[in-house]
Amino acid sequence: MAVPKRRMSRSNTRSRRAQWKTAAPTLAECSNRACRRPKPPHMLCPYCGRYDGRQVTRPA
């Protein structure tokens, strides 16, 4: 296994870590006409309890 010969400088370490950005979560509109709240795609709507046009759970 490769082992670094020298310690990486603070500026090099920080510039490499500057690329670790988090992305905002993707949100899709609920397909229920009465709800239309943002939810994660391919997931049950946490507000109205519907998925793919059918009722899956009771609304919260």
- Residue 12 pLDDT more than 90? yes
Res. 59 pLDDT band, cuts 50 70 90 = confident
And the tokens for 11? 């500026």
Which sequence spans correspond to the domains of the chain?
Answer: 25-60
24-41 pLDDT, tens digit each: 999 999 999 999 999 999
pLDDT at 23 over 80: yes
Write down the pLDDT at residue 8.
Answer: 93
> What pLDDT score was predicted for residue 5?
93
Count of beta carbons in the 10 Å neighbourhood of residue 47: 15
DSSP state of 46: T
